[in-house]
């Protein structure tokens, strides 16, 4: 019995009718690895690499320093997927050495991939470090760029990955509405997408994620956000490529079922959320998840969407 309970609490993500939805961990560095492994993460869906760059406001860490840190993370996930996000500087993650001095709207300025394309040596060093960290390890390394807006962004990132000799899948985060609407075009350049619902909500609703007064529009149950996720997931399915979610939305067990119903192919979250999402997903069939997603999208507000999905899943 204990064994069965342990399997249910650490096994793979799967609906009650056997549809697999890998459950991955969001980590911020090597110190989060133990918690991810303990919670039964099937890999890493978002490795935020910003912490590496916080020590020195003047310059980026050396390739050697980065390689050692990446390797210690990659070693912990043999034969697993590890999705590393390249540096996402700017806006809510300011970095002195990369950040332009005085933008009136930093969230709409030179952040994420834009900052890296302005400073190609910073991107090159990070990709080089990732390539050498993965050398000889059995890990499935995937590398993705934050704040991809269009196909040209995706192409520039894929080219940088190739130029660095990286043998890894390259991907784009979908966290700008334009990228959600044109995921098919982006997937002509890269091999997967991952939805960053925190920023996608911010940009969809013109609601700064750091301003509490507009928190209502940061609610990931907002039907407009669900519409964009559905469009992106559909385009990825048509392209035969994966479309995960790595924003906070994936950590809400009920919403995780709705995301599954929308066609999202993996869910990445903080390790503490993994057991709850795993056990909730295991209660419902894929068709039930699809019905819950349809019910949520038929509503016009976040609260109503949450209630409608909950009613479908509880059989009311």
Binding site for ligand PEP (CB under 6 A): 46, 48, 88, 175, 196-199, 246-247
- Work out whether 253 is an interface residue with Mg ion (CB under 5 A): no
90 binds, among ligand PEP, Mg ion, none (CB under 5 to 8 A by kind): none
Tell me which of ligand PEP, Mg ion, none is bound by residue 197, counting a contact when its beta carbon lies within the kind-specific cut-off of 5 to 8 angstroms: ligand PEP
User: Which residue is closest to Mg ion by CB?
Assistant: 199
Min separation Cβ 260 and ligand PEP, Å = 18
Nearer to ligand PEP, 200 or 312 (CB): 200
Nearer Cβ to Mg ion (41/200): 200
Residue number, 172 or 308, with CB nearest to Mg ion: 172
Is 199 among the residues that bind Mg ion (CB under 5 A)?
A: yes
Task: Report in angstroms how near the CB of residue 49 gets to ligand PEP at its nearest.
Answer: 10
By CB under 5 A, tell whether 142 contacts Mg ion: no
Return the DSSP state at 86: P
- The total of other beta-carbon atoms located within 10 Å of residue 79's CB is 9
* Residues in Cβ contact with 56 at an 8 Å cutoff, skipping those fewer than 6 apart: 97
Tokens of 159: 């080219």
What minimum distance in Å lies between the beta carbon of 314 and Mg ion? Answer: 32
CB of 175 to ligand PEP, least distance (A): 5
246 binds, among Mg ion, ligand PEP, none (CB under 5 to 8 A by kind): ligand PEP
* Structure-block tokens of residue 299: 């509503």
13, 43, 196, 244: which one binds Mg ion (CB under 5 A): 196
Cα Rg of the chain, angstroms: 19
Name the residue nearer to Mg ion (CB basis): 88 or 189: 88
Cβ proximity to ligand PEP: between 63 and 277 the closer is 277
Dump the DSSP string for 258-282: HHHHTT--EEEE-GGGHHHHHHHHT
Helices (H), the chain: 2-10, 33-38, 63-74, 113-118, 120-134, 151-163, 177-181, 183-186, 197-204, 223-239, 253-261, 274-281, 286-297, 302-313
Helix/strand number for the chain, H first, E second: 14, 8
**Residue 102 burial (10 A CB sphere; 0-12, 13-18, 19+):** exposed
Binding mask 168-187 for Mg ion (x = CB under 5 A): -------x------------
| Angstrom distance (rounded) from CA 285 to CA 289 | 6
Q: Which is nearer to ligand PEP, 86 or 313 (CB)?
A: 86
Q: Closer CB to ligand PEP, residue 169 or residue 286?
A: 169
Contacts of 112 (CB under 8 A, 6+ apart): 88, 89, 90, 145, 146, 147, 148
**231: three-class secondary structure by DSSP:** helix
Cβ proximity to ligand PEP, 48 vs 81, nearer residue: 48
Report the 10 Å Cβ neighbour count for 136.
Answer: 8
Shortest distance, position 196 Cβ to Mg ion, whole Å: 4
Smallest distance, ligand PEP to C-beta of residue 298, A: 25
Site of interaction with Mg ion (CB under 5 A): 175, 196, 199
């Amino acid at each position: 019995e204990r064994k069965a309970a342990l399997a249910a609490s650490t096994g793979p993500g799967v609906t009650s009718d056997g549809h697999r939805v890998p459950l991955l961990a969001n980590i911020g560095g090597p110190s989060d690895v133990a918690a991810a492994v303990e919670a039964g993460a099937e890999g890493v869906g978002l490795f935020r690499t910003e912490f590496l760059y916080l020590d020195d406001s003047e310059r980026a860490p050396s390739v050697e320093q980065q390689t050692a840190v990446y390797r210690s993370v990659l070693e912990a996930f043999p034969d697993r997927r590890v999705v590393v996000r390249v540096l996402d500087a700017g806006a809510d993650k300011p970095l002195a050495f990369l950040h332009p001095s005085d933008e009136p709207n930093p969230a709409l300025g030179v952040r994420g991939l834009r900052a890296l394309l302005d400073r190609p040596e910073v991107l090159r060093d990070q990709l080089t470090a990732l390539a050498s960290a993965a050398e000889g390890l059995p890990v499935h390394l995937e590398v993705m760029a934050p704040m991809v807006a269009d196909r040209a962004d995706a192409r520039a990132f894929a080219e940088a990955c190739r130029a660095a000799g990286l043998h890894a899948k390259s991907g784009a985060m979908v966290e700008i509405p334009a990228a959600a609407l044109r995921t098919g075009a982006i997937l002509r350049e890269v091999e997967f997408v991952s939805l960053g619902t925190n920023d996608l909500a911010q940009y969809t609703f013109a609601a700064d994620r750091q301003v509490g007064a507009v928190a209502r529009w940061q609610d990931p149950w907002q039907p407009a956000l669900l519409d964009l996720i559905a469009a992106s997931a559909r385009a990825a399915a048509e392209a035969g490529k994966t479309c995960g979610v790595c924003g906070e939305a994936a950590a809400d067990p009920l919403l995780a079922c709705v995301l599954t119903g929308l066609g999202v192919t993996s869910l990445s979250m903080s390790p503490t959320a993994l057991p709850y999402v795993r056990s909730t997903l295991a209660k419902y069939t894929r068709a039930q998840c699809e019905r819950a997603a349809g019910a949520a999208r038929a509503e016009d507000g976040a609260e109503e969407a949450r209630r409608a999905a909950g009613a479908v899943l509880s059989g009311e």
